[in-house]
């Protein structure tokens, strides 16, 4: 975080400071512009530009080609409201079908609002009542359901669960970037700047966990690996609870559990090697990667009140 030092000036009984020119230029602020000011209990003062509702509606054109998905997410994560997809090649029928599939499979707040021979219009709709925390909690519920499906040998429905989780993952990233770009941290009471970044990192671990569980669902055959997976599921559930509730004491218990699980995995690994069961060995390695993701999330738990201390330290 770049620091700027300003001296206080007293004019007509009020204390004033000047704002950094680089910041005012970035947000096109000048005389008469409005800013939102908030302060926290730790004494931190937060200033953010007031985003005019009329200026929030942004548009961008992207070309449909082999890099379409990458081009789309560049605009989507930047907060662009309307994305126009242009088809330069004829016919565009196959491209349109793939765009429809992409929107349906990967996104929850995007709809095709217009369509022509030349292109399509995709609009991002803001979803009221949904937050970074609620998205993350929903991702956690889906991961737990995927664990249960793996342990119950129910591969059916895993594709839908993984797609649903991906939608919440993309929504989480967009919400966090929107939160930072629009200065939501000034008045937000539930998520601080630091905590928003922690949610970004933790949600990525959940997304990777879902990928591992999806592959496990069709290959979990060995009872030893399944028993190990049950223990990993328990650890994962405990870590998610500690992260959501910012329970630091519970989170650090993951370190002891992690070392214990590694020893147990070595024992399972020895049996699989002797049996030359390499397919089950791949499942065991997936479980270990999931365990690593759980440990990474536990390392993000700071405890209640710690986020404000860290924010003050950064300032």
pLDDT confidence of residue 52: 55
Residue 215 burial class via C-beta count within 10 angstroms: exposed 0-12, middle 13-18, buried 19 and up: middle
pLDDT confidence of residue 12: 64
- Taking 80 as the threshold, does the pLDDT of residue 309 lie above it? no
Tens digits of residue pLDDT in 109-132: 899 998 888 889 999 887 777 888
- Taking 80 as the threshold, does the pLDDT of residue 56 lie above it? no
- 45-49, 73-77, 103-107, 281-285: least confident range: 45-49
**How would residue 307 be classed by pLDDT, with cut points 50, 70 and 90?**
very low
Task: Give 161 or 127, the one with higher predicted confidence.
Answer: 161
pLDDT confidence of residue 315: 44
- Please choose, from the candidates 139, 251, 244, the residue with its C-alpha nearest in 3D space to the C-alpha of residue 190: 244
Is it true that the peptide bond before 91 is cis, omega within 30 degrees of 0? yes
**How would residue 289 be classed by pLDDT, with cut points 50, 70 and 90?**
very high
Residues 37, 186: contact at Cβ < 8 Å? Answer: yes
What are the angstrom distances between the C-alpha of 86 and each of 78, 102, 120, 121, 204?
19, 16, 7, 9, 31
- Taking 70 as the threshold, does the pLDDT of residue 310 lie above it? no
* The two structure tokens encoding residue 26: 């970035």
- 77-91, 109-123, 154-168, 202-216: least confident range: 77-91
Q: How far apart are CA 232 and CA 251, in angstroms?
A: 14
* 60 SS3 class: strand
Rounded to the nearest 5°, which phi and psi values hold at 185?
Answer: -65, -15
pLDDT confidence of residue 91: 60
pLDDT confidence of residue 264: 96
Residues 165, 207: contact at Cβ < 8 Å? Answer: yes
- 190-204, 241-255, 258-272: least confident range: 190-204
Domain spans in the chain, listed from the N-terminal domain onward? 18-50, 55-124, 132-306
pLDDT confidence of residue 274: 94
Q: How far apart are CA 280 and CA 271, in angstroms?
A: 10
pLDDT confidence of residue 249: 93
Percent of the chain surpassing pLDDT 90:
52
For residue 315, give the DSSP letter. Answer: -
Task: Give 137 or 175, the one with higher predicted confidence.
Answer: 137
Mean pLDDT of 243-257: 93
Residue 99 burial class via C-beta count within 10 angstroms: exposed 0-12, middle 13-18, buried 19 and up: buried
Residue 108 burial class via C-beta count within 10 angstroms: exposed 0-12, middle 13-18, buried 19 and up: middle
For residue 89, give the DSSP letter. Answer: S
With tokens 């200026």, the residue in question is: 55
Q: How far apart are CA 66 and CA 95, in angstroms?
A: 10
Which phi-psi region, left, alpha or beta, contains residue 153 (left: φ > 0; alpha: ψ -120 to 50)? left
Residues 163, 102: contact at Cβ < 8 Å? Answer: no
Mean of per-residue pLDDT scores for the chain:
84
pLDDT confidence of residue 312: 46
Q: Which of 42-46, 77-81, 261-265 has the highest mean pLDDT?
A: 261-265
Partners of 112 in the β-ladder? 122
pLDDT confidence of residue 54: 47
**CATH topology assigned to domain 132-306:** Methane Monooxygenase Hydroxylase; Chain G, domain 1 (1.20.58)
- Taking 60 as the threshold, does the pLDDT of residue 184 lie above it? no
**How would residue 187 be classed by pLDDT, with cut points 50, 70 and 90?**
very low
**How would residue 33 be classed by pLDDT, with cut points 50, 70 and 90?**
confident
**Length, in residues, of the chain:** 315
pLDDT confidence of residue 254: 94
């Amino acid at each position: 975080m770049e620091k700027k030092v300003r001296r206080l000036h007293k004019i007509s009984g009020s204390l004033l400071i000047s704002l950094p020119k680089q910041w005012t230029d970035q947000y096109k602020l000048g005389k008469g512009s409005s800013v939102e000011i908030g302060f926290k209990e730790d004494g931190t003062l937060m200033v953010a530009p007031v985003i005019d509702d009329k200026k929030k509606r942004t548009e961008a054109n992207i070309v449909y080609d082999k890099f379409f998905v990458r081009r789309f997410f560049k605009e989507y994560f930047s907060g662009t409201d309307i994305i126009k997809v242009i088809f330069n090649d004829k016919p565009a029928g196959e491209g349109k079908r793939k765009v429809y599939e992409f929107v349906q499979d990967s996104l929850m707040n995007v709809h095709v609002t217009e369509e022509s021979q030349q292109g399509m219009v995709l609009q991002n709709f803001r979803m009221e009542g949904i937050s970074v925390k609620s998205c993350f909690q929903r991702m956690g519920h889906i991961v737990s359901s995927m664990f249960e499906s793996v342990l119950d040998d129910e591969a059916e429905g895993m594709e839908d669960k993984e797609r649903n989780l991906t939608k919440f993952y993309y929504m989480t990233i967009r919400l966090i970037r929107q939160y930072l770009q629009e200065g939501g941290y000034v008045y937000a009471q539930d998520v601080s700047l630091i905590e928003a970044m922690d949610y970004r990192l933790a949600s990525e671990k959940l997304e990777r966990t879902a990928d591992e569980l999806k592959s496990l669902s069709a290959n979990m055959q060995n009872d030893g690996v399944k028993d190990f997976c049950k223990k990993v599921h328990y650890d994962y559930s405990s870590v998610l609870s500690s992260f959501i509730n910012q329970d630091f004491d519970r989170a650090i218990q993951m370190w002891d559990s992690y070392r214990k699980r590694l020893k147990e995995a070595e024992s399972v690994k020895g049996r699989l090697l002797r049996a030359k069961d390499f397919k089950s060995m791949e499942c065991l390695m997936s479980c270990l990667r999931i365990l690593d993701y759980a440990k990474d999330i536990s390392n993000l738990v700071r405890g209640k009140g710690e986020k404000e201390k860290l924010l003050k330290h950064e300032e």
